[in-house]
Amino acid sequence: MKNLYSNTKKTLKLIYDLEKKNLIVILLLSLLVSVVPLLTTYLSQELLNSIVAHQVLNRVMVLLIAFVSFTVGSEIVGQISAIFEQKLQVNLVYKLNKIIMNACGDMKLKDFENSETYNQIERINGQIAFKPSQSLDMTINLMKTMITLIGSIIFLSMWSWKMALLLTLVPLTSIYYYIQIGKREFNIQYQRMEDERESWYLNYILTHDFSFKEVKFYDLKEYIINKFSRIKENFIKQDMDLLYQKSKLSILFEVGVQIIGAIVLFVAITAAYSGTILVGNVVSIIKVTSMIQSSSKGVMTSIYALYNNNLYMEKLFEFIEEFVQVENEEVLIPDNTEITDIHDIEFKKVSYHYPETQSLALKKVDLTLHAGERVAIVGPNGSGKSTLIKVLTKLYENSEGEILVDGVPLREIEETRYKQQLSVLFQDFVKYELPLQENIGFGDIQNISDTEIMKTCMRELNIDFLDEEDLNQQLGIWFENGRQLSGGQWQKVALARSFFKKASVYILDEPSSALDPISEKEVFDSFYEKTKGKIGIFISHRILAAQNADKIIVMDKGEIVDIGTHAHLMKNCRLYQEMERAESYEEYFAA
Ligand SMILES: Nc1ncnc2c1ncn2[C@@H]1O[C@H](COP(=O)(O)OP(=O)(O)OP(=O)(O)O)[C@@H](O)[C@H]1O
Ligand SMILES: [Mg+2]
């Protein structure tokens, strides 16, 4: 109950912060509407009694007009309130969506690589369109029905407090049981989350394009559906159990309420027979009794539904508390961080381990990079090459050791300014289902309308499969008139994205993994041209691509095992020699 109260308070506070005006109007109108049933009941009672007592027509007419005005008025107010509710809901969903998107955009890469955070976002996003406003609806409903219930009880107790007390008996005892079921449902849903995620994932791989090819080819449909069914069938069983329990309680509640209602009516009718009360009062007692019955049921359902929604709201609050930045909490940045160009980068004993893993992905890496140097990083899978790039680009910040950029510690340099100087092609680059202009322009969003540079980049990389005069060309297959590209073509577009930016450090992680040898050569030629006088780093598995670099860094198991030119490494580095031999072996067979 405490939990219910605090969460409802938090929900109202959140909605108040986002939609103050609409919320206040809705609450006031709801308050107005909720007293109308009682007022009209009172008026109809007076109306009937004055007719029976043959009172002057004037009084009867006044009562009638008041009765009609209140009924019509409440209808109108109800409609107006519905407009505001609709308005609030639309705005609320939009604003919450923006908050979540903003928070996701501000997150660190390590947050996104954490499955719990990722799933948290999935869950919140999936239901944001209705859960928060549902919570508000339930709260308003609870408020309305509570007012009607309390008012009706007071109204009835004016006739007989004993009868009023009797009528509250069933609702009061049922509240306890309803909350118990609500809690059970909450717990079941909470424990289910892990399985829920898995079933969501299974559904996802069966219904999305990225996995369709494999699902089809390996004939995975049945296996995946069976796995999905096992999880879902268990959920259905749990849901049915709960439904039976709820239905049993509802039946008991209904029967109890009706029996007590009948007793109250019996007493009222007997009282009317004996002349203790008037006919009008009997009518209003019947009405109020039924109002108590329906509003107490309304209170139960609202409490129960609020309990249920709490699970979602709790997750939403957790997310907001953890990830939505409060503006004045931002870290102060030292003054010495202005950078217009980067000439040297130095790694001093830099180590990094991924959260939740013990082993180091980078082990005491010492490294210097100077402007004018083209550096290749080679090494087996999992040796830490991409991790090194992610640490260098400040995507991971909690590394040990020191990284100096032109002598200034990287952690003291403001992220945005630092990133302005870098251009990166990631190993798992994105194939944006967007027009060509955005696919390239995202590399330097400030200059996205500079189509001339875009066209130059396309020419540099020999992107002749797309028309440079048609930058609005939609790419991919998700949207109308999209042009799907081959793996290597997508990679070239991603390369154009990183070339589009005027930076002082260019970093390419496996830029030629999908390219044919001719394209590969063209890409490296343009890369060498592009990075003249700058820092150029690329990762490659191919010694052939790396051998022309000014400096080749050989990595293994998170460590740098050697640094030097091709000639030096061929003489001194066993791993390098081994990689070179394996490559010629491949080539021997390929020939
Ligand atoms: N997000 C992550 N969370 C936990 N561990 C990770 C993560 N990314 C990589 N690793 C681990 O860190 C190590 C280094 O990975 P990294 O991606 O840097 O290798 P790589 O040299 O780029 O390999 P490849 O040539 O296959 O691209 C690997 O053992 C990998 O399992
Ligand atoms: Mg990699």
Q: Whose CA is nearest to atom 5 of ligand 1?
A: 354
User: Nearest bound ligand to CA 352?
Assistant: 1
Domain count, the chain: 2
Residue 49 domain flag: yes
Is position 324 within any domain?
Answer: no
72 and 18 assigned to the same domain:
yes
Same domain, 14 and 98: yes
In order along the chain (591 residues), what is the average pLDDT of each group of 10 residues? 78 90 92 85 85 78 88 90 92 90 84 76 80 88 89 89 87 83 82 84 88 86 95 95 91 90 91 86 88 87 83 84 63 56 94 88 95 94 94 90 92 88 94 95 94 94 94 91 94 96 94 90 92 94 89 95 95 93 67 47
Indicate if 273 and 411 belong to the same structural domain. Answer: no
Residue nearest to atom 31 of ligand 1 (CA): 382
Question: Pick from 280, 319, 311: which is nearest to 196 by CA?
Answer: 311
Ligand (nearest to CA of 579): 1
CATH number of the domain where residue 99 is located: 1.20.1560.10
Domain boundary among 265, 284, 318: 318
Give the Å distance between the CA of 562 and the centre of ligand 1.
20
User: What pLDDT was estimated at residue 397?
Assistant: 84
In this structure, the answer to whether residues 7 and 71 fall within a common structural domain is yes
* 396: phi then psi, degrees, rounded to nearest 5: -110, 130
pLDDT reported for residue 586:
55
Tell me what percent of the residues of the chain surpass a pLDDT of 90. Answer: 46
Task: Give ligand 1 pocket residues (Cβ under 6 A).
Answer: 113, 354, 357, 361, 379, 381-387, 427
Same domain, 171 and 287: yes
Pocket probe for ligand 1: among 360, 385, 390, 543, the residue whose CB has the most ligand atoms within 8 Å is: 385
Among 112, 352, 354, 360, which residue has the most ligand 1 atoms within 8 Å of its CB, making it the best to mutate? 354
Question: If DSSP codes are grouped into helix, strand and coil, which group holds residue 370?
Answer: strand
Based on the domain organization, do 313 and 343 belong to the same domain?
no
Give the ligand 1 atom nearest the CA of 510.
27
172 alpha carbon – ligand 1 mean position (Å): 59
Nearest ligand to the C-alpha of residue 384? 1
pLDDT at position 40: 86
Q: List pLDDT tens digits, range 290-317.
A: 888 888 888 888 888 888 787 788 888 8
Name the strand (E) or helix (H) holding 589.
helix 574-590
* Proximal ligand: closest to the CA of 362: 1
Q: How far is ligand 1, taken at its centre, from the CA of residue 421, in Å?
A: 25
Residues 74 and 213 in one domain: yes
Beta-carbon contacts of 117 under 8 Å, excluding residues fewer than 6 positions away, are: 107, 111
Ligand 1, atom 2: nearest CA belongs to which residue?
354
Give yes or no: residues 91 and 206 share one domain: yes
Q: Spell out a b/e string for 165-204, using b for 16 or more CB atoms within 10 Å of the CB, else e.
A: ebbbebbeebbebbbebbebbbeebeeeeeebbebeebee
Report yes or no on 449 lying in a domain. Answer: no
Supply the CATH number for residue 377's domain. 3.40.50.300
pLDDT in tens, 310-356: 778 888 888 888 887 654 444 445 545 566 789 999 999 999 999 88
Residue 267 within a domain: yes
Strand partners of residue 475: 483
Among all ligands shown, which has an atom nearest to the Cα of 392?
A: 1
Residue nearest atom 22 in ligand 1 by C-alpha distance: 386
In this structure, the answer to whether residues 14 and 145 fall within a common structural domain is: yes
Question: Six-digit token pair at 507?
Answer: 């970093």
Decide: 179 and 303 in contact? Cβ < 8 Å: yes
Task: For residue 457, tell me if it sits in a domain.
Answer: no
362 is in which domain, residue-wise?
A: 336-421+535-591
Q: Distance from the CA of 537 to the center of ligand 2, in angstroms?
A: 13
Q: Rounded CA gap, 12 and 443, in Å? A: 41
Cα dist from 97 to 90, 94, 115, 153, 552, whole Å: 11, 5, 21, 42, 46
| Minimal-distance CA residue to ligand 1 atom 6 | 354
Q: How many residues does the chain have?
A: 591
Nearest to 128 by CA among 292, 295, 267, 316: 316
List the residue whose alpha carbon is closest to atom 28 of ligand 1.
382
Residue 316 near residue 100, CB atoms below 8 Å: no
pLDDT score at 440: 96
Question: By alpha-carbon position, which residue is closest to atom 25 of ligand 1?
Answer: 381
Nearest CA residue ID for atom 26, ligand 1: 381
Q: Are 197 and 309 in the same domain?
A: yes
Residue 129 inside a domain? The answer is yes
Q: What is the pLDDT of residue 25?
A: 94
List alpha helices for 128-160, DSSP H.
Answer: 131-157
- 195 plus 307 within the same structural domain: yes
Q: How far is the CA of 393 from the centre of ligand 2 (A)?
A: 14
For residue 384, give the nearest of 362, 367, 415 by alpha carbon: 362
Cα 392 from Cα 424, distance rounded (Å): 11
Kindly state whether residue 453 falls inside one of the protein's structural domains: no
> Nearest 5°: phi and psi at 508?
-125, 120
Domain end residue (candidates: 318, 345, 367): 318
Q: Are 151 and 38 in contact (CB under 8 A)?
A: yes
pLDDT at 335: 47
Does residue 256 share a domain with residue 108?
Answer: yes
Q: With CA atoms as reference, report the closest residue to 124 among 355, 328, 321.
A: 321
Last residue of a domain, one of 285, 318, 351: 318
Chain-wide mean pLDDT for the chain? Answer: 88
Quote the ligand 1 centre to 384 CA distance (angstroms): 6
Q: Which residue has its alpha carbon closest to ligand 1 atom 12?
A: 361
Is the residue at 323 inside a domain? no
